[in-house]
Amino acid sequence: MEVGLESGIPTYSGGLGILAGDTLRSAADLGVSMVGVTLLHRKGYFRQRLDAQGNQRENPDAWNPEEILKPLDPQVAITIEGREVKLRAWRYEIQGLSGHQVPVYFLDTALPENSPWDQTLTDHLYGGDAHYRLCQEVVLGMGGIALLSALAPQDRIIYHMNEGHSALLTLSLLDSGSQSGVSPAPTEADVEAVRQQCVFTTHTPVPAGHDKFHWDLVSKVLGPEQADLLKASNCCFDGSLNMTYLALRFARYINGVAMRHSEISTGMFPDYPIDAITNGVHAVTWTSPPFADLFDRRIPEWRQDNFYLRYAVGIALYEIVEAHSQAKRALLAEVERQRGVRLPEHPLTIGFARRATAYKRPDLLFSDLERLRTMAQRVGPIQVIYGGKAHPRDEGGKEMIRRTFQAAAALGEAVRVVYLENYDMALGKLLCAGVDLWLNTPLRPQEASGTSGMKAALNGVPSLSVLDGWWVEGHVEHVTGWAIGDDSESPGDSFQDAASLYDKLERVILPLYYGKPESYAKVRRAAIALNGSFFNTQRMVSQYVTNAYSF
């Protein structure tokens, strides 16, 4: 449903879309034969503006596909509520390192043949109500299959459902593969034929992340025949179609996005075998220019083969420190440009940027302002840079942004806190590389993987994070960064986590940063060598090829 290709194409909201883009980029680098299918989202997600109190205002982020993408010829039709809806696609080409191309098709219903309402179906990412969303998922799943068949009919295609949003594609496959046409009940053989073609990745243990549509709505949008087909496929519970169950039911391979996440998902869906392929990031995309230059000089093979980042252990510490200082200056220049605030270069600078939502607890750092003030005064100065959008209907997330502004006002000069507007890929790249410490405080076990800490690691920025998601695997205490709390199976506790966060900052990280800069630089270097070399999408896509896509 979303893909992060570049800042100028605002058809992503966060980690899920960025991961999709990074996956496609690495597939292009590796010469994997892959195409991406998404929606055009002419009005994007939204542009974020913040007033002086931290109230978020959302403006449409309209863009001109005409300037970046090529429209394709074939038009295909799908049926929504008994109406024929025409769609076409726009093509974006990702060029891999050796010239291999991976196209991305952006589906578009804004055609004059369609009703005015149908024309808006590919306007807003995650906008509108359940009805609008279900229609979008019909466009994505069923329209996607129709388009791919029209473009280049092929057998031996594997359909990788990146989250449940695209799961209606299984219905199209079932429909076209069924021996008896649209029969009231698919046979086991029909289901098995679809299963052999489908792979499903689940991305969140948070229940709100799993789409459900009321049965009456499904019947209305898809029509009674298709609805019966779904009903016969065991993916409807409590009067709703559950898109995750639809995908689970029709996938021959299922995975979560980190080891811990696959355990949690197995607990949620005990009837299905759920493997793990831990997420990564596209190393060349997320490495800041100063580190890319350094790696080009010292380990030139790193672009072709990210495992070479392991050899960052041989890079001199002063070179790592110098590259980081350059990245930090670039970030501070952006802070000054955007907020008019000139932050000094030396203080320990903490970064926190991700979707603003309650379970990520951006306010955990502000649990005890007095303690924060005191340690900044006694042990060494701290400054914090925030970023992140709240979904327009996530009131809890919006409250988190306001609280950050309140804390910033209360702390004043004692601990400088700035919140950057409109967190996007360009800002993410500057932020993850330019701070000294990447903070991550999700409430366990709700973080499936998280990827911004991986971007930070590539740039020699260690994490201070709750042991959830990828950090369970990437954390080596005092070597690649630091843990908040412990690794127990029990759910997180904000009181204990805050105490642990302050203890680590006050007793370990600040003394190291100010007292033993060389030791801090060693942590930077180990973050690159141990985590940059592994938590990348080159390794991840190779695992998908081996474990999920092979016939």
Interaction site with ligand PLP (CB under 6 A): 14-15, 18, 354-355, 423-425, 428, 450-452, 455
Q: CA angle, 404 as apex, 400 and 408 as ends, to 5°?
A: 170
The residue among 366 and 423 lying less far from ligand PLP, judged by its C-beta, is 423
Q: CA angle, 509 as apex, 507 and 510 as ends, to 5°?
A: 80
Please report, for residues 363, 366, 390, 405, 432, the alpha-carbon distance to residue 408 in angstroms, rounded to integers and kept in the order given: 11, 9, 18, 5, 21
**b/e map 520-531, b = 16+ CB within 10 Å:** bbbbbbbbbbbb
String of DSSP letters for 474-543 = H--BTTTEEEES---SSPP-HHHHHHHHHHIIIIIIHHHHHH-HHHHHHHHHHIIIIIITTSBHHHHHHH
Taking the CA atoms of residue 194, residue 200, residue 205 and residue 206 in that order, the dihedral angle to the nearest 10 degrees is -70
The residue among 141 and 428 lying less far from ligand PLP, judged by its C-beta, is 428
Token readout for 322 is 């110098």
The residue among 332 and 425 lying less far from ligand PLP, judged by its C-beta, is 425
The residue among 12 and 250 lying less far from ligand PLP, judged by its C-beta, is 12
| Residues β-bridged to residue 102 | 94
Residue least distant from ligand PLP (Cβ) = 428
Shortest distance, position 52 Cβ to ligand PLP, whole Å? 24
Place of tokens 């990348």: 536
Shortest distance, position 50 Cβ to ligand PLP, whole Å? 16
Shortest distance, position 418 Cβ to ligand PLP, whole Å? 17
Shortest distance, position 17 Cβ to ligand PLP, whole Å? 8
Distance CA 286, CA 280 (A): 11
The residue among 190 and 447 lying less far from ligand PLP, judged by its C-beta, is 447
Distance of CA 479 to the CA centre of its chain: 26
Shortest distance, position 447 Cβ to ligand PLP, whole Å? 8
The residue among 89 and 425 lying less far from ligand PLP, judged by its C-beta, is 425
The residue among 22 and 175 lying less far from ligand PLP, judged by its C-beta, is 22
Distance CA 159, CA 132 (A): 24
Shortest distance, position 210 Cβ to ligand PLP, whole Å? 18
Token readout for 79 is 């049926």
Shortest distance, position 317 Cβ to ligand PLP, whole Å? 27
